[in-house]
Structure 1
């Protein structure tokens, strides 16, 4: 009989004592009335981990943690202690790698919940979905959906937490189901006044000649860590990188459209609302190399 796969690794963080414990993820740990599962009242980040030589590399570690702290501030949660959270992250990475005994990439999702009586945190390793390899190589069809509010709405309604990476993902999941029911694999949200925002779990990047463009995070979206990494390398390569308002017409006329995220890296969008888009395979590979270093890593 084949051995069962090694379980994912889990660290529980005691924020008051500034310590963590590695535990069996198959055991019960979370109260059902914790405000994370009960109301989605918490924040998270998901980092990609790949093998570089003999060591594991956590991609965009600092960018993720900076956004994590910003999300905590928006939700009025305690400022996460970097020493504690980074130590817990490194511990689950090491345990996961030792248990699996392979060089396969994976992700770690670290979470801060408002808890019940006090905030609680944890870090959990998660294998990559095999479909991401196909999506990066072949591209995906996407549909647009109206987000229901105008661009820059968060500037006048900060309590909406637009720009915070919260655990409230029910509408994101619903958008994915809507896309699947309409023959697509993902969604690009539009503001009610027609500006491009983001995907349910990805940022939108387009190329127009020698320029890369992405929507301004202030328009009502999460500032992506992978998008920032791509822009940094693209600027070093001599490309102009801009944050600006985009429309569906901009996507249709672009020299390439991508959804970027930590786990999927960069996925070309080959069709939008049933219409074919330009697919630049060479530039897609270049973007993945900017993020991963080795194009064959994932």
Structure 2
């Protein structure tokens, strides 16, 4: 598939479709040079009638705006970014008429003298659909700091979705080297946090539990979608501190994210855990049909 790119000028309030294979950012732009910026990745469904749906569009942009506030970046213009998002999706559809879904990553950099921004399409990896069915094995990794550290050290930017993803990428490589499919971060004092690109949800009886965002994680848009539908289905939902034994003894556990949706965890640190295939299917129905 051919990707599409839209360059956004936050200062002028304009955007334009651009060649995704050409160079656009200066190497001393603070995004590639320092990772000094923010981003969101949204799932897009393309409908046969020519329309498209941006899943959890409002919650994604609310988190984008919150990340900008944490990094003291200019407040992003919601109308501008959403118009640019629509434009990049339509350009992608024109290039790839057979496509039915994709993801788009939109970003805001501190730039140099003025901020820079863009929206880039990313085709969905076929392995995601397989993982929704077959599940994944995870290894736990020490995050290196205690839970809730961000409340006393806001300069660490815990809870902001920044472009500084080298640690997240390294965690994925380390997990693969251990024969696992993904990683799960744990605070230095033993509180379960999140995956490198996902949130953790576990089932205990008729209740779904996810770690408290204040513990040092991103408040997941997909996790919130799951909780909203779960509550409508009669399940209890809550936020709270979880430890490794809670995961191993759960009636089901998932890593959830915008692009992968709900992926069941089948083993943690080499120990098999319970898999709830029925609820997995319901979760993915909630996520993938939610506009």
May I ask how many residue pairs the two structures share in their alignment? 289
Instruction: Give me the whole-angstrom Cα distance separating, in 2, the residues matched to 1:27 and 1:290.
Output: 38
Q: Quick one: which of 10, 13, 19 aligns to 1:24?
A: 19
Name whichever of 229-238 and 44-53 sits farther off.
44-53
Instruction: Give me the whole-angstrom Cα distance separating, in 2, the residues matched to 1:239 and 1:137.
Output: 22
Instruction: Give me the whole-angstrom Cα distance separating, in 2, the residues matched to 1:38 and 1:162.
Output: 20
- How far does residue 117 in structure 1 lie from its aligned partner after superposition? 1.4
4+ aligned runs moved over 4 Å, structure 1: none
Instruction: Give me the whole-angstrom Cα distance separating, in 2, the residues matched to 1:179 and 1:238.
Output: 35
Matches within 5 A, 1:210-221: 210-221=206-217
Root-mean-square deviation (CA, aligned residues, Å) is 1.0
Instruction: Give me the whole-angstrom Cα distance separating, in 1, the residues matched to 2:191 and 2:166.
Output: 23
Instruction: Give me the whole-angstrom Cα distance separating, in 2, the residues matched to 1:109 and 1:293.
Output: 20
**TM-score between both structures, scaled by the size of structure 1:** 0.95
**TM-score between both structures, scaled by the size of structure 2:** 0.98
Confirm or deny: 8 A CA contact 2:144 2:188 kept in the other structure. Answer: yes
Q: Deviations over 1:55-81 (max 9, x none)?
A: 211100000000000000000000000
Gap regions ≥5 residues in structure 2: none
Matches within 5 A, 1:174-253: 174-253=170-249
Name whichever of 66-75 and 46-55 sits farther off.
46-55
Matches within 5 A, 1:110-149: 110-149=106-145
Instruction: Give me the whole-angstrom Cα distance separating, in 2, the residues matched to 1:31 and 1:277.
Output: 48
Gap regions ≥5 residues in structure 1: none
Who is 2:40 aligned against? Answer: 45
Confirm or deny: 8 A CA contact 2:137 2:267 kept in the other structure. Answer: yes
Who is 1:281 aligned against? Answer: 277
